[in-house]
Amino acid sequence: MADKIQVDGGKTRAPKSMRRSRPEVHLDTEHPVTVTIDGLETEVPFGTTILEAARKQGVKIPTLCFHEDLCVAGVCRVCLVEVTGHSILHAACAYPITEPIEIFTNTPRVRRARSHMIDLLLSEHLGECYSCWRNNNCELQKLAQEYGVRRYRFGHVSERSEPVDRSSYSVTRDMDKCVLCRRCVRTCIDLQEVGVLEALYRGHDTKIGTFLDKPLGEVVCINCGQCINRCPTGALRARDPVEEIWTAIDDPTKHVVMQTAPSPRAGLGECFELEPGTPVTRQLNTALRRCGFDRVFDTNFTADLTIIEEGTELILRLYKALVEKDASAALPQFTSCSPGWVKYLEHFYPDFIPNLSSAKSPQQMFGSLIKTFYAEKNGIDPKDIVSVALMPCTAKKYECNRPEMCDSGYKDVDYGLTTREMGRMIHQAGIDLPSMPDSDFDDPFGTATGSGVIFGATGGVMEAALRTVLELVTGKLVENFYDHCDITPIRGFEGVRLAEITIDEVGPVPEIIAHLVPDWNWLKGATLKVGVAHGTANAKLVLEDIKAGGPFSECHFIEFMACPGGCLGGGGQPIPTSPEIRKKRAEAIYAEDAGSKVRKSHENPAVLGVYEQFLTDGPCGEVSHRLLHTHYTERGKYIV
Amino acid sequence: MVLLTERDRLRQSLAELAERYGKQRSSLLPILQEIQRQHYHISDYAMQVVADLLGIHPVEVFAVVSFYSFLDFKPKGRFIIRVCRTMCCHMQGKDRVARQLETDLGIGFGETTPDGRFTLEWANCIGMCDLGPALLVNDRVYTQVTPNEVHHIIEECRKVFGVHATQGQEV
Amino acid sequence: MIKSFVQKKLTFREIDPEKGLRAAMDLSPEAVIDCISDSGLKGRGGAGFPTGAKWKFCRAAKGEQKYVVCNADEGEPGTFKDRVILTRFPHLVFAGMTIAARAVGATRGIVYLRGEYTYLLGGLKKALQERRDDGRLGPAVLGGDQEFDIEIRMGSGAYVCGEETALIESLEGHRGESRNRPPFTADTGMNADPTVVNNVETFAWAACILDKGPDWFRVVGTDHSVGFKLFSVSGDIDRPGVYELPLGTTVQELLEAVGGENAKAVVIGGAAGRCVGQGEFDRKVCYEDVPTGGAVIVFGPGRDMLEVAENFLEFMCEESCGQCTPCRVGNPKLLECVRMLKDGNCSASYLREIVALGESIHAASKCGLGQSSGNVFLSIVEHFREEIMGRAVGSV
Ligand SMILES: Cc1cc2nc3c(=O)[nH]c(=O)nc-3n(C[C@H](O)[C@H](O)[C@H](O)COP(=O)(O)O)c2cc1C
Ligand code: SF4
Ligand code: SF4
Ligand code: SF4
Ligand code: SF4
Ligand code: FES
């Protein structure tokens, strides 16, 4: 079982952007250097930045362009400090300590220069905090407050110089609020390696833009929203459907249904000043009903369904490829539940489209079921159903607008709502989420399993799939292989992971899938190789590795998530994000899994019920293919 | 017979360029400079092909092109006249030279003549401070230009097209 | 043909570039570095970093491939001496680069030539070919064990690419945006390998010093600034051109040499330099007093100093790389203030506010451009207050 691996000679990036071209001083923990910070002497490893050293001493230095997930830029110049003997000030985030120095973080000169930086930024910033979505959660606003800005010393803009770019289904850009910290650039190019945003032009004309400065909707943006998560201001924002959802709720003829994904439930608490990683699942159900949603469902239900469908697809593919030697069955099979990842593949590696599982994402499966199965069962005209999905993700907003996602005859999911937007709706409704009583999800999709929950963390889909596949194929409980069915080797935040599982025996295969292949014995003694990658930069590493015939080319099944950390680090999650916060959210998710009564997708009685009553020809059957599977588009990356 | 479209040909020549300079990021500027030299600007398509060849993102190429004054992503004239506008040339009378250029070419700064032959631009210090006013016509430097000489400079360029400006005819 | 006036007596005319090179090849690298260190040569590009120390760092730095880069991006308004050197004494520069390569153990040399000087390219390439042909460049320089070759790379019109880290970014195919330091280029430069970046003139002097010895160089100058330096002098004077003068020459002496005695002000160091008024003409041009990369621009009695400040600030606003806040947003504020002064509607208190901002821009900027962009303006405000305050609207 390999968990730490090197692919393609390069180190995988546990979510941390790296710009190879910008050299940094490497940390050398063997060589401590003595520094004095505001009179306090301390030792730090060679190469520690002044900012880190100060933080360790409990000295707070304001920052703006610095972000824990990203490589250093040193461009906002807010984090200035004075170093004895140096005539100029230094940016603490960008100054590695390589020799003993004496640092002062609070001198008149430093204070004045910092407030000058803030004044300068504000002078070109369309400051209209009342109407800005980041009001109260804005790093620029906070700096202005901390540094006592009481007037606009160097002027102030109150008129728009550029219209807001609303061309994308997911991300809107208001460049009049951009402070050119370049976090989005570092996110998009270095962390995600999608490469949509860059600094353009130069001097005072510098701006952040896309290729040819086109609207975001026209370039190869994968809608992951990671740039939004790291933007310190209101310049980037998810496309907001809240007003439309309220309108639907207020309309008595509409039946408004909500599905909630596991990651928002692990993150939403942060919008209510709860510690990161405080799960609010059942309180949220109550809050949603009070908001006026007619039904509240658990996306985990279709996550379980996804596992059955995708697992079945995998078995069929393996059989075709390994037993029938049919070259058209592409291996490894790739997961398809992350719409950002799907779009990434369509743009950059269209040759791999045959490898993508045709199973829809849980959100879209639910969408189709609600407007077909649920509507039928409850005698509701699907045209009156408004289906909302609470997601950690901005790409889901794009996904539900893909033209092919209308298999119910209507738009399967009407709105993708992010965690942040949900938080605002609840605030708006005057509901104090933390004090809500618990309540359950609505039937008929009421039960979900722990497997569905862990979809939210990187490695989760794989773990859920393995739990099911192992058990169905071997006929033995997963607990025999892994304690508490925690398949820990594929957990964690390592950028890419590989695991191998040998199937020693093939047990009685349950009826629901038994008919799929004529014979199951070929699996006996087989070694199932699986991989996990999160963040598109890591996805790229894996794809390049497959192309080069590396270890990932031997995999049978690989989980890809577009966002670092998986959905729990999604572009729609509360801001800020950091490795620490993502870890806490993951803990919440694994705790919810551990506390679930049922932990394996194939044991979900409601899922089995759907196969009995509706998808009667079984997993990957004809109905299921029509409603739960989809197809992809070769997009390519050329845009003109 | 092989039928090559404009794009195919461009792609082919860019591939050759990349081969010549090497397919690494540090070849980006030499490649772009060469494209600029041959085509007087770097087209949208060319930027994407170069990005592909060097394994970088098109937006990175665009960011570079938009950074440097001598790289253009919009078509420019066959002759780009850049008048130095920095202090030394200013003191030596660049304004009058500039005015004469505007009048003779019938365009303002930042514009291209309708026939696509001349573009008039300002330049920051071109290193001819002792010999101002100075200007660049593509790579060529003209020093101590007088308003009266402007006419000759333009004329000289026009010869390349085989047209005499004074005859006012196009071929 | 571009013919700048060049002072008759010029050391470079008298030196045989190859003698210095031969001397260097016979010495150990350490001895070459010692020779340069002993001479007290400091960078001629403006910042005045001791050249010997720079080479020593680079020699000590670990790296398989080392680079010697000649900064021929000469973009500072008012400077043109590098152009003259490259036109007339290219071999001196190439010899100097080869000596540096010997000293630090580099095998690749790059001349970063500004795009405006494309017309020099042919001559320089020819000179390089001559050197290759007779073994002064190539796998075995002068038949010894030093491998070295030089290629020329062109700039594309960006002043900031003269800043050494921006220059390297540009060489690597990026936007010319300065890097954070440390690490310094001598340690982590081109492709993250150790890289020496020196000015054209610095290399030329290095070749001279290797020929004539360190003591020869030290005979003129001040305590901290020794040797001769080339000055590009332009503006309201009788004989604009390139002059060789000892460091430590006073402004007055310089003005006398170039025929600019009736000057009202002199800007030394170009747009990034500072403005010296009549009362200060006894100041010395050297690293410890008024430093310069060589640009001297003289302003006669009729010149409007606000126009000077405006022109230079316009230059800075356009040429800033735009990555850091103080330089990108701050310089336009200074420019705006100059325009307000020109129109007579800048209050004294706002001017004070702007002067304080100027100091913050200097202290907070990431690279030398922003750190020096306000110098001219601030020194004009200091010395010419009477002239700039209280203008009538449209008086200019
Ligand atoms: C904005 C800016 C522009 C510069 N331009 C040049 C230049 O054109 N030529 C040059 O030699 N040095 C220039 N420098 C100085 C270089 O950064 C660097 O200090 C120099 O090349 C080192 O060489 P030296 O030690 O031989 O002077 C510039 C610096 C700054 C901040
Ligand atoms: S980005 Fe921040 S400072 Fe700007 S308007 Fe929005 S809340 Fe206010
Ligand atoms: S949404 Fe993702 S791909 Fe699109 S610009 Fe932002 S970071 Fe880049
Ligand atoms: S859009 Fe946001 S993240 Fe990007 S540079 Fe502007 S302020 Fe920074
Ligand atoms: S000081 Fe100016 S030129 Fe230098 S890095 Fe900052 S913005 Fe760029
Ligand atoms: S936080 Fe250090 S420069 Fe921006």
Chain segment A329-359, per-residue pLDDT in tens: 999 999 999 999 999 999 999 999 999 999 9
Provide the token pair at B70: 């001598």
- Give the model's pLDDT for residue C160: 97
A93 given a catalytic annotation = no
A542 lines ligand 6 (CB under 6 A): no
Return the H-helix or E-strand segment holding A172.
strand A171-173
CA of B54 to the centre of ligand 1 (A): 29
Asked if the C-beta of A477 comes within 8 angstroms of chain B's C-beta atoms, the answer is: no
Helices A108-123 & C348-364 angle (0-180, nearest 10): 100
Is A24 or B136 the better-scoring residue by pLDDT?
B136
With CB atoms and an 8 Å threshold, state whether A637 touches B58.
yes
Whose CA is closest to atom 1 on ligand 5?
Answer: C370
Residue of C nearest to A156 (CA): C333
**In sequence order, which residues have a C-beta less than 8 Å from that of residue A322 and are 6 or more positions away?**
A522, A526
Instruction: Provide the ipTM.
Output: 0.95
Ligand 2 pocket mutation pick from A64, A123, A129, A160 by most atoms within 8 angstroms of CB: A129
Q: What pLDDT sits at residue B163?
A: 52
**Do B131 and C271 make contact, defined as CB atoms within 8 angstroms?**
no
Active site residue A60: no
Ligand 4 centroid to residue B49 C-alpha, Å = 28
pLDDT at B80: 96
Give the pLDDT score at C360. Answer: 97
A8 CB neighbour count, 10 Å cutoff: 16
The domains of chain B are located at: 6-67, 79-161
Over its C-alpha atoms, chain B yields an Rg (Å, rounded) of 18
| Domain coordinates in residue numbering, chain C | 11-217, 228-299, 305-389
CATH tag, A306-359+447-574+590-639: 3.40.950.10
Asked whether B122 and B82 are in contact (CB, 8 A), the reply is yes
Catalytic: A555? no
| 3-state secondary structure at position B117 | coil
Nearest CA in chain B to A219: B59
Q: Which residue has the tokens 């930027």?
A: B47
CA distance C307 to C304: 5
What pLDDT was estimated at residue C155? 97
What does residue C50 show for φ and ψ, rounded to 5 degrees? -60, 125
Query: Is A123 in the active site?
Result: no
Low-confidence residues of chain A: pLDDT under 70: 1-23
Q: What angle do CA A596, A599, A600 make, to 5 degrees?
A: 155
CA A217 to centroid of ligand 2, rounded, Å: 24
Spatial neighbors of A365 by CB under 8 A, at least 6 apart, are A302, A305, A306, A309, A359, A627, A628
> Which partners does chain B have (≥3 C-beta pairs < 8 Å)?
A, C
User: Is A404 assigned a catalytic role?
Assistant: yes
Q: Atom 6 (ligand 4): residue with closest C-alpha? A: A178
Beta bridge partners of A255: A385
Mark A339-358 as b/e (b = at least 16 C-beta within 10 Å).
bbbbbbbbbbbeebbebbbb
Nearest in space to A366 (alpha carbons), one of A633, A632, A606, A617: A606
Closest-CA residue in chain A for B46?
A640
Q: Give me the CATH code for the A119-238 domain, please.
A: 3.30.70.20
Domain range C11-217, its CATH number among 3.40.640.10, 3.30.300.30, 3.40.50.11540, 3.40.190.10: 3.40.50.11540
CB contact under 8 A, A116 and C371: no
pLDDT score for A11: 46
Mean pLDDT of chain B: 92
Atom of ligand 6 nearest to the CA of A66: 1
List residues near ligand 1 (CB under 6 A). C 43-47, 49, 71, 73-76, 160, 162-164, 197-199, 202, 367-369
DSSP label at residue A385:
E
Per annotation, catalytic residue among A52, A139, A193, A313: A313
- The alpha-carbon gap from A72 to the nearest alpha carbon of chain C, in Å, equals 9
Compute the distance between CA of residue C218 and CA of residue A293 in angstroms, rounded to an integer. 86
Out of 3.40.50.300, 3.90.1170.50, 1.10.10.10, 3.10.20.600, select the CATH number for domain C228-299.
3.10.20.600
Architecture of domain A18-106: Roll (3.10)
Q: Is A178 in the pocket of ligand 4 (CB under 6 A)?
A: yes
Q: How high is the pLDDT of residue A25?
A: 82
C-beta separation of B6 from B14 below 8 A:
no
CATH number at A242-301+363-435: 3.40.50.1780
Instruction: Find the A289 Cα to ligand 4 centroid distance in Å.
Output: 36
Q: pLDDT per residue over C274-287, tens digit each?
A: 899 999 999 999 99
**Residue type at position A297:** F
Cα A62 to ligand 4 centroid, rounded to whole Å: 17
CA dist B141 and B121 (Å) reads 14
Task: Using a cut of 0.90, tell me whether the model's pTM lies above it.
Answer: yes
Alpha helices in A124-197 (DSSP H): 139-146, 183-185
Task: Find the residues whose C-beta lies inside 6 A of ligand 5.
Answer: C 160, 178, 320-324, 327-328, 365-367, 369-370
Which residues in chain C show pLDDT less than 50?
A: none
pLDDT, residue A557, reads: 97
Which chain C residues are Cβ-neighbours of B109 within 8 angstroms? Answer: none
Closest residue, chain A, to B71 (C-alpha): A201
Ligand 6 neighbour A74 (Cβ under 6 A): yes
Residue B165: its pLDDT value, please?
43
Q: Is any ligand 4 atom within 6 A of the Cβ of residue A558?
A: no
Domain residue spans of chain A: 18-106, 119-238, 242-301+363-435, 306-359+447-574+590-639
Annotation says A567 is catalytic: yes
For atom 4 of ligand 1, the residue with the nearest CA is C162
Task: Tell me if A50 CB under 6 Å of ligand 6.
Answer: no
The residue of chain B with its CA nearest to that of C173 is B26
Contact B57 A201 (CB under 8 A): no
pLDDT at C370: 97
Q: How far is the CA of C369 from the centre of ligand 1 (A)?
A: 10
Q: Select the residue from A192, A219, A638, A639 to test the B interface by mutation, using most B Cβ atoms within 10 A.
A: A638
- Please count the other Cβ atoms lying within 10 Å of the Cβ belonging to residue A419: 29
Chains that touch C (3 or more CB pairs under 8 A): A, B
Residue type, A384: D
Contact B129 C78 (CB under 8 A): yes
CATH code that applies to domain B79-161:
3.40.30.10
Q: d(Cα C385, Cα C392) in Å, to the nearest integer?
A: 15
Q: Catalytic residue among A181, A291, A485, A567, which?
A: A567
Residue nearest to atom 8 of ligand 4 (CA): A181
- The residue contributing the CA closest to ligand 1 atom 31 is C368
| Structural contact between residues C230 and C244, judged by C-beta atoms closer than 8 angstroms | yes
Coil, strand, or helix at residue A45? strand
User: What is the C-alpha separation between A377 and A356, in angstroms, rounded?
Assistant: 32
Q: What tens digit of pLDDT does each residue of B72-107 get? A: 999 999 999 999 999 999 999 999 999 999 999 999
> Pocket of ligand 5, candidates C315, C366, C372, C375: which has the most ligand atoms within 8 Å of its Cβ, to mutate?
C366
Q: Which CATH class is domain C305-389?
A: mainly alpha
Q: Determine the distance separating the centroid of ligand 2 and the alpha carbon of A137, expressed in angstroms.
A: 9
Beta carbon of A93 within 6 Å of any ligand 6 atom = yes
Mutating to test ligand 2, I would choose from A177, A181, A231 the residue with most ligand atoms within 8 A of its C-beta, which is: A177
Q: What does the alpha-carbon distance between residue B53 and residue B45 come to, in Å, rounded to a whole number?
A: 12
Closest residue to atom 6 of ligand 5, CA basis? C324
Q: Quote the pLDDT of residue A485.
A: 87
Residues of C contacting chain A (CB within 8 angstroms): 158, 160, 169, 172, 174-175, 177, 179-180, 182-183, 188, 192, 317-326, 328-333, 353, 356-357, 360-366, 371
CA nearest neighbour of C65 among C24, C109, C17: C109
Q: Which atom of ligand 4 is nearest to the CA of A227?
A: 3
Q: How many CB pairs under 8 A join A and B?
A: 50
Confidence of residue B171 (pLDDT cuts 50, 70, 90): very low
For B6-67, give the CATH class: mainly alpha
H helix or E strand, kind and range, residue B42: none
